[in-house]
Amino acid sequence: MGAEMRKARRTDIDVTVSLNQLGVNAADRIQNKADVHVVDISKGGIAFKSGYDFKVNSFYDTVITLANGEKLYVVVEILHRDSCENDEYMYGCRFVGIGAEDQFKIEAYQIVDTGSAI
């Protein structure tokens, strides 16, 4: 994916989420929804793969369910897109306005997932 851009530690994750584009009216919301495969997470954002052509600097809301059952209701901004195999792209996103409680959920997940403190 190129140079490391995150400030927080990444942890691999294997989850599918639906991204809902912000700034569209309710009638268009269904057409502006896409399922993506999240491959890693940090307290600062996520990386995901998709064949869908998302625009850089666009905003989406989503719900991420961690393996421990914790749910994160977050808004992400797409920061960059890189080509991947099989006509897919790898996207890097940052969380917008994520609260301390959700950051703690991610940190706890990382500790349990790796078995070590951050």
Q: What is the pLDDT of residues 31-90, one digit of tens each?
A: 668 999 999 999 999 999 999 999 999 999 999 999 889 999 999 999 999 998 889 999
pLDDT value of position 55:
93
**In angstroms, what CA-CA distances link 111 with 38, 73, 76, 89, 117?**
19, 20, 23, 29, 5
Are 35 and 16 in contact by the 8 Å Cβ rule? The answer is yes
* Cβ-based neighbours of 24, under 8 Å, separated by 6 or more: 32
Please determine, for residue 4, whether its predicted confidence score (pLDDT) is greater than 90: no
Q: Is 52 helix (H, G, I), strand (E, B) or coil?
A: coil
* Model confidence band, residue 15 (pLDDT cutoffs 50, 70, 90): very high
Q: What is the pLDDT of residues 47-60, one digit of tens each?
A: 999 999 999 999 99
pLDDT value of position 116:
58
Read off the pLDDT of each residue in 79-102 and give the average, rounded to a whole number. Answer: 94
pLDDT value of position 9:
86
